[in-house]
Amino acid sequence: MSVARHKRPPELEGVSLEQIIATHVGEFRNKRADWAAFEDAKIEGFKRAQHRFIGAGGSGKHNDPTVIPARNMTLSIMYVEPGQGNAAHTHEVEEVFFVLDGHLDVFVEDEEGNRITKRLGKWDCISCPPGVIHGYENNSLERVYFQVMLGRAKPDTMGYADDRLFQRRGAHLSETD
């Protein structure tokens, strides 16, 4: 006989294994690419698609039944074509980029505009601490897929370093697809 050494969270007490599997497995084939998950994704050079697996994340605009409920983190897979990336930004929590396929140039910068860039390849990652300005660009000739994790079930909307983007950072939340 098996013994659970830790208690289930209250919302899972009495829930069947079938229900747990049904609500806690995310299959890529059931995901749709969200090309408008972020305000900067409307701008050439920042276009990318998000495939959300766990949690509402900073976009929080979709009530997608294929998304696994989150407790302490979010997880998404990003698809970025050559010449695209995202705008420099911060989060109130740690953000991790883990490259699954392709090459991704990640950067950190300070408030004076000094930037350090590092190219990541398959199975490489970066952990971006809270409050550190960071982002990425696909400067290769091939598309890149990478995993993004944030250290909160529903993090705040990203804090763009650019004032104009920061002022519009929540505009994508009111849009319908």
Residue 176 has pLDDT above 60, yes or no: no
Q: Could you tell me if 95 and 151 are in contact, meaning their C-beta atoms sit under 8 angstroms apart?
A: yes
Residue 177 has pLDDT above 50, yes or no: no
pLDDT at 167: 83
Distances 122 to 21, 50, 75 between C-alpha atoms, Å = 29, 18, 18
Q: Is the dihedral of CA 137, 148, 87, 49 positive or negative?
A: positive
Count of other CB atoms within 10 angstroms of residue 171: 11
pLDDT at 168: 76
pLDDT digits 0-9 by tens, 17-47:
999 999 999 999 999 899 988 888 989 999 9
**CA 131 remoteness from chain centre:** 16
pLDDT at 171: 67
pLDDT at 174: 54
In order of start, what are the domains of the chain with their CATH numbers? 28-166 (2.60.120.10)
pLDDT digits 0-9 by tens, 102-153:
999 999 999 998 999 999 999 999 999 999 999 999 999 999 999 999 999 8
pLDDT digits 0-9 by tens, 84-97:
999 999 999 999 99
pLDDT at 170: 65
